[in-house]
Amino acid sequence: MRSSFYGRWQELGRESTVELRDFGRLGRISALTLGGGGIAGVWGRTDRAEAVATVHAAIDAGVTMLDLAPSYGVDAESELAAGEALRQRPAGHVMITSKVQLEGDGDFAGRIGRSLRASLDRIGRDHLDLFLLHTQLQPVDGGQVPRNIAWRDYRDEVVPEFERLRDAGLIRAWGITAVGHPDSVLAALRETPRPDAAQVVVNALDMPGDIYPWSDVPAANDEIRRVANGNGVAVVGIRAVAAGSLTSALDRDVPPDHPAAVDFARAEPFRKVAAELGETPAALAHRYALSVPGVATVVLGVKNREELAECLAAEARGPLTDDELGAVSR
């Protein structure tokens, strides 16, 4: 039996769709984007049939972008699931984002091209609407962090190749996952050519979790968002529920010292505020992210239709009021 959230979504879906917002070069986009991590089992177990059904439900509700990546799930499951869903029910108006990881050195253009072609084959499209660098930027001064890309390689090799692919029509826009070293991210947003879009951590407790490796350098998510807005770079909000830490319970087993478990414990006051406001923690977290100025769309990490319905119902209730935002801030 479906939950009350699912019933609420069905009722809402007959009357309204998700709000549309400006998304720079790509025009207008729904305020909610369906992420690939959830439907690929990154945030708890699901299966292909439910993943495909969740893609269909999201599109039916007015979601106009899917945010995928080869690294989401086993054997690029997010792209395979989305590809199956779109082959069953073509939706040419729905934009597709995917990503490329560039760990190590050398042959950046070749690796970018191979990754793009493989993604297009799995998804069943002849181009991507948005192609993102999924590797974090090293400090501009050259300091090294494992599995990150050097600033010089990004500037001199990655950016020109992304620009070439856009000119060739294989992608419509390109961007970065803006959780690298803050100095490098800010430089990337200010220099030209600059990204068309940036994925920025946006959540109520400003928790980047285990994707931010610089323990001695504070994250600068608010500044990154403002600089992106000021330079015409569309902001895609990610980690709205901080990898599950801003929900009622973590949906996967992690050790007590895992960043998600540590953040979950830290977020207990947030859950109390959610209860006082009559919201589930996840709903409040998504409404908060949707209320942050300058965020074009918020990526959902949902893995099934139940979780999707909760987010759709939260979005339909609109932005948080000043009093609600004040309660979260306190």
All structural domains of the chain, each given as residue ranges with its CATH number in brackets, are 4-329 (3.20.20.100)
Whole-angstrom Cα distance, residue 94 to residue 123?
A: 12
Structure-token pair, residue 246:
């801003």
Q: Residue 85: in which H helix or E strand, if any?
A: helix 77-88
User: What would the pLDDT profile of 212-236 be if each residue is shown by its tens digit?
Assistant: 888 889 999 999 999 999 999 999 9
Give the number of other Cβ atoms within 10 Å of residue 230's Cβ.
11
What pLDDT is attached to residue 154?
96
Query: Are 151 and 138 spatial neighbours (Cβ–Cβ below 8 Å)?
Result: yes
Res. 140 pLDDT band, cuts 50 70 90: confident
> Hunting for tokens 């948080």 — which residue is that?
320
What pLDDT is attached to residue 195?
98
Query: Are 127 and 171 spatial neighbours (Cβ–Cβ below 8 Å)?
Result: yes
What pLDDT is attached to residue 5?
43
Task: Tell me the percentage of the chain whose pLDDT exceeds 90.
Answer: 83
Structure-token pair, residue 101:
């990881």
Nearest partner of 33 among 157, 202, 263, judged by Cα? 202
Mean pLDDT of the chain: 92
Mean pLDDT throughout 304-320? 96
What pLDDT is attached to residue 209?
85
Residue 181 DSSP SS3 = coil
Whole-angstrom Cα distance, residue 273 to residue 329?
A: 10
Residue 311 DSSP SS3 = helix
What pLDDT is attached to residue 15?
45
Res. 145 pLDDT band, cuts 50 70 90: confident
Res. 143 pLDDT band, cuts 50 70 90: low
* Alpha-carbon torsion, ordered 187, 240, 301, 233, to 10 deg: -30
Structure-token pair, residue 105:
């050195």
Q: What is the pTM of this model?
A: 0.93
